[in-house]
Amino acid sequence: MDIVIQRNTLHRALQSVQGVVESRSSAMPILQNVLISAEGKNQVRLLATNLDIGLQGLFEAKVKEGGSVTLNARKMFDVVRELPDADVNLIEEDGQWIRMECGQSSFRFPGLPPSDFPSIPDTGKEKSQSVPSKVLAEMIRKTMFAISQDETRYTYNGVYMESEDETLRLVATDGHRLAMVERSGLGADFNGGVIIHKKALGELVKLLSESADSVEIFMQKNHVIFRMGAIELSARLIDGDFPKYKQVIPQDNQHHILADRDGLMRALRRVSLLSNETRMVKFVFQKGQLTLMTNGSDVGEAHEVMESNYSGDELIIGFNSRYCLDVLNIIEEPDICFALKDSLSPGVISPSEGEGYIYVIMPMRV
């Protein structure tokens, strides 16, 4: 291989794959490398994977001689970062060494055989589905925070994506709360639904924020691929059944209480400062008012009274304040709606207007 590529292009290319390069030495040293291969006369493909996520991109370059090489992605990135803005020449030498020249500087890297590099699924000619980048990014943002941090519960470690009657739906849960977002008119087919790991989602959100108008989604047997312009991210699917989330969403919560999102959030922050290690805050609904209370901790107790449109009998329910704050932070609308049944049934928080976002939260025993 012999290629000439602009320093800035190479820098951008290497930067885009850094996120998935294996940083520590694992059983497969080649995962620390990036695969660079010449494509036609004017492009190179950069490819990196940690076996959970694969990233590849096409970048402009002058190809003098075709071929492919792999070399340590981190070291190469460090070197390229320090190079002046000029043409960089990459030449494959005997014995899998790669020489990189730029101006008066010359570097040599040891390579590993490209045939040892794990293959990354190809989008091929399959049909894709297009979703606006901004919409997908927002849907991920609104669910991802509810993913479980417990690494041993694999099906809870990702966001579940499915489509039903031209509606795209994302769901995430950790067993204590559940976030579900829907957008209609986006008929993406997910073969009945897929779970995408949170690590892949993190990378995806980063790419979506820089990406053009829409993202193309390709479903495959073992992977789902997101293509944004010249960059493709492939995520290995989690094999397992996502919990039956529909059974968790309460349908008969008869009390609907409106609240000012910002006011509630500020009050909750203040009151929760004096909660005990369970982070529980008591919500006391009475005619016309809502009182937030914390007591029972060594550090003190707090309560704050707010106006409310509640009109039923007194209802006391405890929630984990962090779970509440998480969702209040994410919702953009000025007003939210609580839907409650009684003090032992799950509550629902959603924006007061507009459909498509539901947050279910399990109560704590008060």
Partner 1 sequence: MDWEFLKGQDAAVASLRRDLASDRVANAYIFHGPEGVGKSTAALIFAKALQCGGEAPPCGECPACLKIDRGVHPDVIHVSPPEGRKSIGVEHIREAVIGRAVQRPQEGNRQIFVIDEAHAVTIGAFNALLKTLEEPSYDTVIILITQNLHALPPTVVSRCRRLLFRSLNRDEQRAVLAASLGGAGGDLDQLISLSLGRLGTALGNDPEVLAGRREAALGFLEGLAAPPGKADIIDLLSLAASQGSGSGAVRAEVLRFLEMLLGLLRDILVLKVAAGDLEPWNTDLDEVLRELGRRWGAPGLIQAMDRVETAVRDVGEINTNPSLTLESLVIGLRGTVGAGS
**Chain residues in the site for partner 1 (CB under 8 A):** 27-28, 30, 51-52, 115-116, 118-119, 121, 151-152, 154-155, 221-223, 236-240
The minimum distance between CB 75 and partner 1, in angstroms, equals 20
Q: How far is the CB of 152 from partner 1 (least distance, A)?
A: 7
Q: How far is the CB of 121 from partner 1 (least distance, A)?
A: 8
Question: What is the nearest approach in angstroms of partner 1 to the Cβ of residue 221?
Answer: 7
Residue (22 or 138) nearer to partner 1, CB: 22
Q: How far is the CB of 191 from partner 1 (least distance, A)?
A: 12
C-alpha 149/C-alpha 293 separation (Å) is 28
Q: With CA atoms as reference, report the closest residue to 219 among 240, 189, 198.
A: 189
Q: Provide the minimum distance between the beta carbon of 151 and partner 1 in the complex, in angstroms, as a whole number.
A: 7
**Beta carbon nearer to partner 1, 235 or 340:** 235
Measured from the CB atom, the residue of 236 and 282 that comes closer to partner 1 is 236
- Check: CB of residue 121 under 8 Å from CB of residue 56: no
- The packing angle between helices 321-330 and 261-272, to 10°, is 150
CB of 19 or CB of 121, closer to partner 1: 121
- Would you give the end-to-end CA distance of the chain in angstroms? 69
How far apart are the C-alpha atoms of 306 and 323, rounded to whole Å?
Answer: 20
The answer for residues whose C-beta is within 8 angstroms of residue 148's C-beta and 6 or more apart is: 156, 157, 173, 174, 175
Angle formed at CA 78 by CA 75 and CA 79, multiple of 5 degrees: 90
Radius of gyration of the chain (CA): 25
C-alpha span between 211 and 202 (Å, rounded) = 14
For partner 1, which is the closer residue by CB, 118 or 175?
Answer: 118
Nearer to partner 1, 6 or 96 (CB): 96
Nearer of residues 24 and 244 to partner 1, judged by Cβ: 24
Comparing CA positions, the residue from 67, 73, 69, 94 lying closest to residue 29 is: 73
Residue whose token pair is 């629902």: 348
Q: How many CB atoms lie within 10 A of CB 253?
A: 17
Given a contact cutoff of 8 angstroms between Cβ atoms, the answer to whether 123 and 223 are in contact is no
**Least distance CB 112 / partner 1 (angstroms):** 9
CB of 195 to partner 1, least distance (A): 9
Distance CA 230, CA 328 (A): 36
- Measured from the CB atom, the residue of 114 and 346 that comes closer to partner 1 is 114
Treating both helix axes as pointing N-terminal to C-terminal, what angle do 7-18 and 73-81 enclose, rounded to 10 degrees?
140
The amino acid sitting at 196 is I
